[in-house]
């Protein structure tokens, strides 16, 4: 009985991991402009709260990232090749790849956080 439960749990974790890897692989290839599809999807998704023109690009060896001011409290939105987050006074919110099964779940969390802080 215990072995069967352990085997089921292992299969579930393995499936989650495989689906996660495949989904993130699809959105993290560097595109012609040097950004990933994930970064473009994040910018589009949070456009009602952070205008796309406000992003500044930072070049790094591990991949360029984007940063933009957000809200009146000096918080900044960071969008990395496959992660994102909000940081500033009183705000420390990393949205890390391995906390989400699918990229769209991470993006939905970013949108939710931006929306809840925009008011």
Which two three-digit tokens encode residue 80? 């990395």
Angle, helices 2-27/37-45, rounded to nearest 10 degrees: 90
The ranges assigned to domains in the chain are 2-117
Q: How many CA atoms lie within 13 A of 32 on its CB side?
A: 0
State the pLDDT at residue 3: 78
Residue 110 scores a pLDDT above 90? yes
What mean pLDDT comes out for the span 52-79? 92
pTM greater than 0.75 (yes/no): yes
User: What's the whole-number average pLDDT of the chain?
Assistant: 92
| Res. 47 pLDDT band, cuts 50 70 90 | very high
| Res. 119 pLDDT band, cuts 50 70 90 | low
Looking at the chain, the whole-number percentage of residues with pLDDT higher than 90 is 72
The CA distance from 13 to 58, in Å, is 35
Helical segments of the chain, H only: 2-27, 37-45, 103-117
Residue 114 scores a pLDDT above 80? yes
State the pLDDT at residue 62: 82
Tens-digit pLDDT profile for residues 2-31: 878 877 888 888 899 999 999 999 999 899
């Amino acid at each position: 009985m215990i072995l069967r439960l352990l085997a089921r749990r292992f299969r579930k974790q393995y499936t989650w991991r495989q689906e996660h890897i495949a989904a993130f692989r699809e959105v993290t290839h560097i595109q012609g402009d040097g950004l990933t599809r994930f970064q473009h999807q994040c910018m589009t998704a949070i456009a009602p709260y952070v205008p796309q023109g406000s992003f500044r690009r930072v070049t790094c060896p591990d991949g360029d990232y984007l940063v933009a001011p957000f809200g009146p409290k000096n918080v900044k939105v960071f969008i990395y090749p496959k992660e994102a987050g909000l940081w500033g006074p009183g705000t420390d919110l990393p949205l890390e790849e391995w906390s989400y099964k699918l990229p769209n779940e991470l993006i939905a969390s970013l949108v939710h956080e931006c929306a809840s802080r925009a008011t």
